[in-house]
Amino acid sequence: MAAEVLLERGVAVDIYDAMPSLGRKFLMAGKSGLNLTHSEPAAAFLQRFGDARERLEPALSAFDAAAIRAWAAGLGIETFIGSSGRVFPVNFKAAPLLRSWLRRLRERGARIHVRHKWHGWSADGALVFATPRGEVRQSADATVLALGGGSWPKLGSDAAWVGILSAVGVQVAPLKPANCGFDVPWSTIFRERFSGEPVKAVRLSHRERSLVGEFVVTDNGIEGGAVYALSAVLRDRIEVDGGTTLILDLSPDRSEARLAADLAGPRGSRSVTTHLKRQAGLVGVKAGLLRECLDASAFADPARLAAGIKALPLRLTAARPLEEAISSAGGIAFAMLDDRFMLRTRPGLFCAGEMLDWEAPTGGYLFSACFATGRAAGLGAADWLAARSNTLAAAPSIGINPTALG
């Protein structure tokens, strides 16, 4: 995005990437359908960015969902709004969009250098890259860093930049997993029977937050859309208390009173499993969760069992590691950046994407902020260069160094 707007302003652009090809994290995201953005009203959309909302709002408003759809259309990619309000390419694929995008960048003059991993600066201020051919140094009039966070490091965003920037006085909030799963100390029998099973139509609650969705049981705990939506508050509470309890309502469409009445009906010779299935509609993994989290005596008391179905306590002990997370929280403190996304302490150095200190849930918000901050940083770099030279006629060069797109 930064390269695109700089090329439009007549700036010569070199794009450096540590990986053998560009956009590997972009392509990985496309495996789940490439959710580009979300169509919900602006106020609700901006609220998804929490404490970073105020700082991100100008960039997000300047390149909103409608602008992203128009941008994709300009690349020949038609999009649609799904029933949830999320925006996807009609073909749900990332590769056609990326191919068209890179082709347009090359046609406009971008020079792309792969297998160039940024290692910092030389004594004379040149960018230093490690390549298969040895060290390469490149001077640039301005540089945009879009180095990603710390999730999925095998795709390029390994957070090696944290040490480099910290060493020159840039304040970086510790990177943490975001949109992540959590550890649960499952019993061996539950793990063996239900690992990989989806838990659908369930309400998840934690303190004042509550939502209906689904998640997946894993060998280590839980993950999935509903869990990701609560992951920030769950992670932060675990950091404070060493663990936290997630409350599950396994039957959100029935009241506790109705469940208690249904379960109080005569069981006869039927097993508890059959009784739960017939009277409460709970089978498989949901019934397994009840047995995992309630003591045996609860199954003989319809009122206690109904209460457990409506408010089943699931103890979470830890967030899954950063490298497994969909995205990361933490990064360069916004106080270090001016309104153009330029580091105040290093004129000519701009930063964008997930390496900044913000987080958001899945649903198109992550891509939206990466697109928007990349564009804002590119515009900021173009304005800064113009102010220095008073003209872009000489087309000064600029290094853009993403290890993974966004």
Instruction: Indicate if the pLDDT at residue 33 is higher than 90.
Output: no
Ramachandran category for residue 331: left, alpha or beta (phi over 0 → left; psi -120 to 50 → alpha): left
27 confidence band (pLDDT: 50, 70, 90): very high
What Cα–Cα distance (Å) separates residue 162 from each residue in 148, 324, 359?
A: 11, 19, 17
10 shares a domain with 148: yes
Give which of 89, 108, 106, 107 is closest to 97, Cα–Cα.
89
Q: Tell me, yes or no, whether 195 and 331 share the same domain.
A: no
Asked if residue 14 belongs to a domain, the reply is yes
pLDDT band at residue 16 using 50, 70 and 90 as cut-offs: very high
The pLDDT value recorded for residue 30 is 85
φ, ψ dihedrals at 312, nearest 5°: -85, 120
Residues 136 and 222 in one domain: no
Q: Compute φ and ψ for 335, nearest 5 degrees.
A: -65, -20
Report how far residue 361's alpha carbon sits from residue 314's, in angstroms, rounded to the nearest whole number: 22
Shared domain for 226 and 369, answered yes or no, is no
Residue 17 lies in a domain: yes
Higher pLDDT, 77 or 406: 77
**pLDDT average, residue stretch 18-42:** 93
Is 259 a member of any domain? yes
130 and 259 share one domain: no
What is residue 116's predicted lDDT score, i.e. its pLDDT?
98
Note whether residue 290 is domain-resident. yes
Model confidence pLDDT, tens digit, residues 81-131: 999 999 999 999 999 999 999 999 999 999 999 999 999 999 999 999 999
Looking at the fold, whether 270 and 304 belong to one and the same domain comes out as yes
| pLDDT at residue 263 greater than cutoff 80 | yes
Going by C-alpha positions, the residue among 170, 176, 177 that lies closest to residue 332 is 170
Contact 373, 57 (CB under 8 A): no
**Number of domains within the chain:** 2
Q: Is residue 52 in a domain?
A: yes
Whether residue 154 sits in one domain with residue 299: no
Same domain, 146 and 21: yes
CA distances (Å), 14 to each of 24, 125, 284, 377, 389, in order?
18, 17, 55, 15, 19
pLDDT (average), residues 262-272: 84
Instruction: Answer yes or no: do 128 and 78 share one domain.
Output: yes
86 exposed, middle or buried (CB, 10 Å; 0-12, 13-18, 19+)? Answer: buried
Of 319, 346, 368, which residue sits at a domain end?
319
Q: Return the number of other C-beta atoms located less than 10 Å from residue 174's C-beta.
A: 12
Tokens of 100: 């068209």
- Domain membership of residue 406 (yes or no) is no
Task: Give yes or no for residue 210 having a pLDDT over 70.
Answer: yes
- The answer on 150 and 189 residing in a single domain is no
| Whether the predicted model's global pTM rises above the 0.85 cut | yes
Do 165 and 199 belong to one domain? no
324 is written with which tokens? 């497994």
321's CB contacts (< 8 A; 6+ apart) are 177
Q: Domain boundary at 319, 353, 388, which?
A: 319
CATH of the domain at 31: 3.50.50.60
Top pLDDT among 278 and 406 is at: 278
Is the residue at 95 inside a domain?
A: yes
pLDDT averaged over the chain?
Answer: 94
At 349-394, the pLDDT tens digits run 999 999 999 999 999 999 999 999 999 999 999 999 999 986 444 4
What residue numbers bound the domain in which 211 lies?
Answer: 182-319
Of 302, 319, 336, at which residue does a domain stop? 319
Domain match, 189 and 167 both: no
- Compute the distance between CA of residue 173 and CA of residue 188 in angstroms, rounded to an integer: 38
In a domain? residue 274: yes
175 has pLDDT over 80: yes
